[in-house]
Structure 1
């Protein structure tokens, strides 16, 4: 059995890498990092929209390319490798997938074509502070027509045009679509370790909302969405981890100390070897997750948790050891190592921190063994 991507999917990945290598360099990333007025790189975003990537996994009847989740996974890996400073994940992984899995046919026909065209930039507002969103503790409420409450932090919440909000409704929770340019919405930027992916606090004060899915199904929809998002974010982490290994290896070959490349030192060899092993473990788990995601397999909760944990560990380790391999240079502002370290720390907590995914993996395995 071959778990590798097809030749067409590898071609897509190669073309995406060439495009991002030319149009989304670390210089573009630094433009956003160094300019507090920028929430993302508008030029890169417009080109991503023109490439049609927002519609990669959106069916053709809604204006998308209709390629599938495997193709989205390979693009996600390249986006992570390039540190793309754009609201791609918020719009495609969270917003679009929530609509695809929970939205009505009318909502899909109305909203998904606008996602593909770039007219809608989406975000997902579940968090109300530290910790995993708990339906029993939600303070944001939906009364059937309006939303009130505060969500923080919301990734890309300052640039998004629409949000899907996890809100308490009755004794349960629901997903609610809110136009962020409408009445009753106040937003302000929130500072984080990683300014190239902006975050915001969004306050809803009787903002008009439209339910996504049935009333009270929000918790189930949120759990299902997180499994799908986890695999896609894991591929972004995998792309970043591989790039860190490449950077460290290249520097170890070109940096000379005492008349020979530092890559000849056993300590450096061990760093690079361990980075490689962790990356390969992460890739194996990500491929498992991609299979489960693309086939809607019953193993998706287990595969999502495994890919998320392995990729988080690999990216954090690779970004850290990349800095260490670069030595004194690695800690400077001029070297790009810190860009990857920042992104690794951010992605590790998006859609749930590793502790949460460890608990999910244990629960999934317990259910599997009890069956």
Structure 2
């Protein structure tokens, strides 16, 4: 079975990479980190102008109407470039709306996302639980939604959020308009200084139900695949930075890349990346095809991509030596982003357990 991407999808990826190479990267990330704006407005509008915010949105709502494989490759380029704009958050919100949203909800929000006038985000974390599938304390009742979601990536910039609420037999999604006073958005400090996070506090805020528990579980799987590609893109950029430095830095009369210990570290980065990419491509195929093994493939992709990114981001700092720990070094961006991605959809432990459960279910069905 061929899990590789189509030529058209690769052409779109090349186009996106040229755009992000010109408009994003560590320089743009540092500018946002040191500035007051929560994101790069020029980058966001440029991406919207190219149709990148509407890749998954059907043409009837003003989008491009492409599939999962194009969205995955876009997530990889966003990760590679450290794009300081709420692109990943809006992609995840779009996916939630496509899976669980009603026709009326899609008609209201998708056209604005496609043209760049609407930014979305997804909030599931709570103070008492950081496990996505645990029953949330946030409740949606007749008076509205009550509860707190924290931390929520890009909520400071967002117009709308998909949040988890307590369903009949587990978490479910609800659509929350952030323009209302009853949904207070307050910035919070996290390790990622380029992608701002916030606390969303709801007190009788008006919200609309979006599907049930099954729809939320399907969203988790699709989101895991997208974030796996973001992690792989970020890892690839960090690995390239480490290897380039090893080819240039001279210590004890020769470039450090000639030392066996450094070679082994670089080789380990590559091996972990290729393992993660294989799992992610399987996940992208299952996502695109709607295959029954999506849960297993998504969990494997998430787990392997976190392993690759975490290892590479840490070793990139170590390989740069003392300079890698300084504020002036760009190593920090990849390390910070690695920590943020690791926490964005539940821990590695949660996803490795989800993988085991999916494999057990597969084996029971095959018996």
Alignment TM-score, normalising by the size of structure 1: 0.94
Give the secondary-structure state (helix, strand or coil) at the position aligned to 2:343: coil
* CA displacement at 1:144 relative to structure 2: 3.9
For the Cα contact (< 8 Å) 2:133–2:171, is it kept in 1? no
Asked if residue 7 in structure 1 is aligned to residue 7 in structure 2, the reply is yes
**What whole-Å deviation, never above 9, does each CA across 1:243-293 have from its counterpart, x for those lacking one?**
111111111111122322111111111111111100110111111111011
Give the secondary-structure state (helix, strand or coil) at the position aligned to 1:175: strand
For the Cα contact (< 8 Å) 1:152–1:201, is it kept in 2? yes
Asked if residue 203 in structure 1 is aligned to residue 201 in structure 2, the reply is yes
Cα separation, partners in 2 of 1:67 and 1:257, compared to 1, 3 Å? same
Asked if residue 185 in structure 1 is aligned to residue 183 in structure 2, the reply is yes
- Superposition pairs of residues 81-120 of structure 1, within 5 angstroms: 81-93=80-92, 95-120=93-118
Give the secondary-structure state (helix, strand or coil) at the position aligned to 1:159: coil
1:267 matched residue in structure 2? 261
* CA displacement at 1:296 relative to structure 2: 0.8
For the Cα contact (< 8 Å) 2:171–2:216, is it kept in 1? no
2:33 matched residue in structure 1? 33
* CA displacement at 1:141 relative to structure 2: 1.4
For the Cα contact (< 8 Å) 1:29–1:196, is it kept in 2? yes
Which blocks of at least 5 consecutive residues in structure 1 are unaligned? Answer: none
- Superposition pairs of residues 160-175 of structure 1, within 5 angstroms: 160-168=158-166, 173-175=171-173
* CA displacement at 1:90 relative to structure 2: 1.3
Whole-Å separation in 1 of the counterparts to 2:14 and 2:53:
18
* CA displacement at 1:198 relative to structure 2: 1.0
More deviation in 347-356 or 118-127? 118-127
Whole-Å separation in 1 of the counterparts to 2:359 and 2:274:
22
Give the secondary-structure state (helix, strand or coil) at the position aligned to 1:348: helix
Q: 1:159 aligns with which of 147, 153, 157?
A: 157
2:341 matched residue in structure 1? 347
Cα separation, partners in 2 of 1:231 and 1:170, compared to 1, 3 Å? closer
- Superposition pairs of residues 122-137 of structure 1, within 5 angstroms: 122-129=120-127, 130-133=129-132, 135-136=134-135
* CA displacement at 1:322 relative to structure 2: 1.1
Asked if residue 297 in structure 1 is aligned to residue 297 in structure 2, the reply is no
More deviation in 111-120 or 70-79? 111-120
Whole-Å separation in 2 of the counterparts to 1:231 and 1:133:
15
* CA displacement at 1:70 relative to structure 2: 0.3
Give the secondary-structure state (helix, strand or coil) at the position aligned to 1:227: helix
Give the secondary-structure state (helix, strand or coil) at the position aligned to 1:361: helix
For the Cα contact (< 8 Å) 1:145–1:209, is it kept in 2? no
Whole-Å separation in 2 of the counterparts to 1:363 and 1:287:
21
Cα separation, partners in 2 of 1:67 and 1:169, compared to 1, 3 Å? closer
Whole-Å separation in 2 of the counterparts to 1:2 and 1:300:
16
More deviation in 335-344 or 164-173? 164-173
Whole-Å separation in 1 of the counterparts to 2:2 and 2:183:
49
2:234 matched residue in structure 1? 240
Which blocks of at least 5 consecutive residues in structure 2 are unaligned? Answer: none
For the Cα contact (< 8 Å) 2:132–2:345, is it kept in 1? no
1:358 matched residue in structure 2? 352
Whole-Å separation in 2 of the counterparts to 1:127 and 1:177:
16
**How many residues are treated as equivalent by the alignment?**
364
2:44 matched residue in structure 1? 45
For the Cα contact (< 8 Å) 1:231–1:289, is it kept in 2? yes
2:251 matched residue in structure 1? 257
Deviation above 6 Å: which 4+ runs of structure 1? none
Alignment TM-score, normalising by the size of structure 2: 0.95
For the Cα contact (< 8 Å) 1:123–1:163, is it kept in 2? yes
* CA displacement at 1:174 relative to structure 2: 3.9
